[in-house]
Amino acid sequence: MSRSPVWHAFTQHGLGEEIPLIDRAEGATLYGADGRQWIDCISSWWVITHGHCEPRIQQAIRDQTGKLDQLIFAGWTHEPAETLARSLVEIAPAGLEHVFFSDSGSTAVEVALKMALGYWLNRGEPRHRILVLEHGYHGDTIGTMSVGERGVYNRAYQPLLFDVGTIPFPTAGAEQATLDALDVACRNEQPAAFVLEPLLLGAGGMLIYSPAVLREMRAICARHGVLFIADEVMTGWGRTGTRFACDQAGISPDIMCLSKGLTGGALPLAVTLATPAIFDAHYSADRARMFFHSSSYTANPVACAAANANLAIWREEPVLERVEQLAAMQAERLARLDGRGRISGKRQIGTITAMELADATGNYLSTLGPRLGAFFRDRGLLLRPLGNTVYVMPPYCITAGELDWIYDAIEEAAGLA
């Protein structure tokens, strides 16, 4: 085969690493065109929840493609989107009554930022400052890079990024410093909004903090009238042990972003949910006050049909029981790694586990990362370490035997560190 013209995401082609060609997938298994198989240990970048090619979702996609494949969503609508929006409002934290559609997690957060700025402008008291949580990641558009951690990921684009206020991550034992810093920033800087990943920072190193801290951060923002944006793109749909991470803290954000597992991972779709206050700030007979955002595929009918099937699965099947069972299996296998000297920082939240191999100070560009990736690939596993941070975030259908395979390989990989 001639050299592929494809330029892959987050891939340094100069390293000459193998790029397997996947032919099909089912459950937690990926099948290569050459006959090899891999366990999908990271849900294909955190999107697959119930398993690959889930039958109910696939059938919904087939049914919808024969009815309506695409429709402009500016001033027009369709049943799959209407049904999905109503269903999301029913299950979302209280007060989130308006649903804006987009295409990905990045755009969902970009929409949230624009909603927040528009809210303050239309109230006649424009605010421009955004507060962010240290080590956060919210996407790769200009706005979402601006509110994410600065580093090698976005070094080339620094001239395009806007300034933000950074609140220190609530490290265990130093949570009060985070709360104090947020209180001071809210009081002194007149920020428009505070955006964070609730309970778990994903690309920032799978860092975990408590529901109590999340609840207090929400309370601080509420006291100061600062909009609270919860980026649940990765944490939503059961990953942290509840449908949404905000549920564990008993909070309702002003704006919440969802994507990834929204369709069970089958198709790209995202939503940004907002309170009536934010919607009403844009509601007017003056067209200049409308919310100016869209994309060609906003609320694509086929993607909405997949999402409706996903929500039906959540309503009609014991999904949270599966989540609990997976969390228990993960905990048991993580405990088996106790006492392994080259493994540190073992941690878990819901269905997700993470740890560092060798030096815990390693970063995303740790030379250990590519070596670990190749090691796991050769053992039939799709595990993509964040530098020397290895995490396991499988679909909920994974079996005990498959988890044993994964953790045996992690234990073996510790010898590379």
Write the DSSP assignment of 52-66 as a string of letters.
BT-HHHHHHHHHHHT
For residue 339, what pLDDT is reported?
85
DSSP summary character for residue 279: H
For residue 417, what pLDDT is reported?
62
For residue 364, what pLDDT is reported?
74
CA 293 centroid distance within chain:
21
Matching CATH number, 58-316, of 3.40.50.300, 3.40.640.10, 3.40.50.1470, 3.40.50.11060: 3.40.640.10
210 and 349 Cβ atoms separated by less than 8 Å? no
For residue 3, what pLDDT is reported?
87
For residue 336, what pLDDT is reported?
94
Question: How do residues 300-353 score in pLDDT, each as one tens digit?
Answer: 999 999 999 999 999 999 999 999 999 999 999 999 999 887 899 999 999 999
Residues facing 1 on adjacent strands? none
Helix ranges (H only) for 204-268 are 211-224, 245-249
Token pair 């778990």 is found at: 200
Please spell the DSSP secondary structure of 328-350, one letter per residue: HHHHHHHHTTTT-TTEEEEEEET
For residue 369, what pLDDT is reported?
85
For residue 341, what pLDDT is reported?
77
Helix ranges (H only) for 160-274 are 175-189, 211-224, 245-249
Closest CA relative to residue 12, chosen from 373, 320, 271, 319:
373
Portions of the chain given CATH number 3.90.1150.10: 17-46+318-416
pLDDT by residue for the chain (417 residues), tens digit each? 578 999 999 999 998 999 999 999 999 999 999 999 999 999 999 999 999 999 999 999 999 999 999 999 999 999 999 999 999 999 999 999 999 999 999 999 999 999 999 999 999 999 999 999 999 999 999 999 999 999 888 999 999 999 999 999 999 999 999 999 999 999 999 999 999 999 999 999 999 999 999 999 999 999 999 999 999 999 999 999 999 999 999 999 999 999 999 999 999 999 999 999 999 999 999 999 999 999 999 999 999 999 999 999 999 999 999 999 999 999 999 999 998 878 999 999 999 999 999 866 667 777 888 899 999 999 999 999 998 999 999 999 999 999 999 999 999 998 876
CA 285 to CA 393: how far, in whole Å? 47
For residue 416, what pLDDT is reported?
72
Portions of the chain given CATH number 3.40.640.10: 58-316
Q: Which numeric CATH code is attached to 17-46+318-416?
A: 3.90.1150.10
Q: What is the pTM of this model?
A: 0.96
For residue 368, what pLDDT is reported?
85
